Structure 1
């Protein structure tokens, strides 16, 4: 029972930090796409 907990904990920490970067990157690309769409129109 102790092994899954120790195994899960680093994954949760890693996923939380990764999701934050992923959201920032996704938002940046979305803004860039919006700006490009506005420029073409």
Structure 2
């Protein structure tokens, strides 16, 4: 998912880190979905 990559990249560019749980919450998906998309 491009949205997941964008969220991680934008957070990193702002010197922040997101967990899989953070991204799952923001996108209203499960942490398993995020984990499957992040390789």
Question: Structure 2 length as normaliser, TM-score?
Answer: 0.37
Higher alpha-carbon Rg: 1
Question: Structure 1 length as normaliser, TM-score?
Answer: 0.36
Higher relative contact order (CA 8 A, sep 6+): 2
Greater share of helix:
1
